[in-house]
Chains A and B, each alone.
Chain A
Amino acid sequence: MADPLSTGVGGAGERRAKRFSVQTMPGFTIMAALCFIALYAPLFPMVFYSFNAGESIAVWQGFSWRWYESAWGNELVKDVTIRSLVVACFASAIATTLATLAALGTTRTEAFKGQTFIYVIINQPLMVPEIVTGVALLVFFAMIKVATGYTGLAYLIAAHTAFCIPFAYLPIRARLEGMDKTLEAAAADLYATPFQAFRRITLPLMAPGIVAGAMLAFVISLDDVVITELVKAAGQDTLPTYMLGQLRRAITPEINAISTALLAITVVLLTAIFFLTRKKE
C-alpha cells in the first residue's frame, strides 16, 4: 500500500517492482485454475437439467421439481436406496468392529513375526483390482449357492464388509499410533483391570479414529458399483447398480435428479466435516 509505484505507473510497473518470488512457476496457476474448472464444470449440466420441465436432458423447457418428485415417488428407487443403506450399515458396522480389533493387535506392539502378513491381508482389497475381486466372489459364491441353496443379501454384506475393512482399519491405526501407553499404564497403576482400562481409557481415546473409519467404510460401501454388480442376485440391485442399469437405457432427467441429490448429500456431509474438524484446530 505504501508502495509509490502502485499509484501512478499502473499494472506493468507494479509487477516489475514485486519481489522475485521463489515459489512462482510460470503457467502453473493457470493450469491449476483449469484443473479446478475441469473438476467442477462437467457437473453443472447434470445439475442444471435435473430441474428441466421437459423429458429431455439436452433441451431446456423451464424450471420444475418434477423429476425430483418422480424419483421420490418411484417405488423401485426407494427399494434400491433402502437396500443400499441396509448393506452399508451392516458392512460398515462389522468392518469397523473387525478393523478395531485388528488395529489393537497390530499397533503399539513390538514387531512380531507375521505382522507384515497381517498388513498384506488387511490391505489386500486396496491392491487387487475390484473387477478381479468381483469375479472371484462371483465364482466362490456360486459354489456356496449351489451347496446351500441360500441366495439372500448376506453375500453382498459379506463382500462389502471385506473391502470395507482396510478403509476402516487405516484411520483407526493412525489414531492408535498417535496414542502412547502412559495413560493405560497409569490406569493399571490405579488398580484398573485390563478391561476397565480398555473401556475407560483406550476406547474413548481411539473413538475419533473409529468414527472416521466407520464413516469411510459406510461411504465406500454406498458407492460400490463393480463388486455389487457381480455379486448381486436378480432383484438385489443397490442404488449404484440400479443407476448403472438405467444409464444403459433411455436416460430421463430422473437420473439427473437422483445424481444431483446424491451430489448434494456428499457436499453437505463433507462441508460439515470440513468445518467441524477446522474448528478444533
Chain B
Amino acid sequence: MLSRQILRNIARGSSARRVGGVRLLSQSKITSFATNAAESNSGANATVVIGNAQAPDGSAITLKTASRDESLFGTRPIYLDVQATTPTDPRVLDKMMEFYTGLYGNPHSSTHSYGWETEKEVEKARSYIADVINADPKEIIFTSGATESNNMSIKGVPRFYKKTKNHIITTQTEHKCVLDSARHLQDEGYEVTYLPVNEEGLISLDDLKKAIRKETCLVSVMAVNNEIGVIQPLKEIGQICRSKKIFFHTDAAQAYGKIDIDVNEMNIDLLSISSHKIYGPKGIGACYVRRRPRVRLDPIITGGGQERGLRSGTLAPPLVAGFGEAARIMKQDMKYDQEYIHRLSEKLKKGLLSIPSTQLNGSLDPASQYPGCVNISFAYIEGESLLMALKDIALSSGSACTSASLEPSYVLHALGADDALAHSSIRFGIGRFTTEAEIDYVVAAIQERVDFLRKMSPLWEMVQEGIDLNTIEWSGH
C-alpha cells in the first residue's frame, strides 16, 4: 500500500512538472498572438482576452490554433470517411481472435474435428450474411471483396451467355470497378449501355426500359452510390428485369446492412457485398448468386471447385467469421444504428448548409438518400484546398479509389455539375462510431475555414460585390 502511494506521488510530481511546462509554452504562444492582434488591429475590435485569443482577419493563425489550447487535446484527425472503409468493430475482432488462436483448422479438411469445427463456424457466418438480405445461405459466395464480386458478376454472366446475348446495361455513376469491367467486356466485343442519371443521381426507369434489347443479358445498377449516397429504385428495376428475363446485379457495397434489402422482394439476382464497409475485416466480401431461377456465370477463378465452383480457393476462416459477425451485428442493430446515423446526419447537414452558397449533392427525398453519406459543395472554394486546411478531419472529396487523380468526380459530372462545383465538393461519412462531439467539431471547423478560404478568394469578393461571374470575360492566358 505504502509503495503504491509513493509511486503515485512520484507520478503526480513528474507529470505535473511536465504539464506545467506545456502550459507555460502554450500560454506564452497565445500571448504573442494576442499582441500581434492588438497591434495590427489597432482600434478596430481589438479586445483580446488571453486564453481565448482572436487573431487578426486574414491571418493563418485563425485556423483554430488561437481559439483553444492545442496542448490540451489530441492530434489524431476525426475519421469521417466511412465510405472508404470502417473501423473494425471490437465485437468482430473478438470473434476473429478465436480463429487466430484455437480454431485454426482448414474448413475444407473433412477428416478431423479441427476441420469440422471451423467449417461449422464458416457455415454459421454464411447464414448470418444471407439473413441480412433474406437470401439462402447456399446463395452466398465468398470473394476477396466487392471489387471481385463485381468483376465476377459483370464479366461472368455475359461470358456464360455469349453465344446468344451480347449486351449489358449499367449506369454512368457506378463504382470504377463496375465501369472498368464493362470496358473490358466492350474490348471483348460486347455492347454496353451506360444509363445517364438526373440531377439527384437517380436513373430513369423509362431510360432503362428503352435500353433493353433482345440481346441484353445483364443490368447492373448500384444500390447506394459511394460518393453521394443516393439509393436507386432497386425494386422497380428488379421488376423490369424479371419481366424481361434479364439478370439484375446490384453493387451493394455501400448499402448492405445499412438500408433494407430483400433479394426476393426486389428480384435481385446478383449482389456484391464488402465486409470492411460494415465494420468487418478487410480482404473479404461476398457475392449473392441466385439459385432459383438459377444464375449461371463463367467463374474468373477456377480450381478446386469450392464455393459452388464459382470461386475456387481455400476460405480464410478468421475473415469469414469476422465478416459473418459483422453482418449479424448489422442486422441486429440496424434500427438502432440507422436512427443514430440519421440524427447525426441531420445535425451535420443543418450546420453545414447554414454556410452561404453551399449545396447538398444527392436526393432530397429521404427514401432515396442514405443519410450516412453527406456530399456538399462549397462554392468558390477548391475542395482540395479545403481538405488541406482540414488536416484535423479525415475526409475525402470523392471515392478513395479515384482520389489519386485530381480530376473532378465523374459522378458529380454525371449529375450535371460543372467543373468548379465538382471540384468544391466534399463527402462526409457518418458511421456507428462517429460521435456527436465529432460532428459539433466538424461543423465549427468547416464554418471557420470556409469563411477563411473565401476571404482569400477573389471570386468570392466579386460575388459579394454583386458581380455575376458568368458575365465576366476572362482574358486569355
Are A and B part of the same complex? no
Interface residues, chain A, CB within 8 Å of chain B?
Answer: none
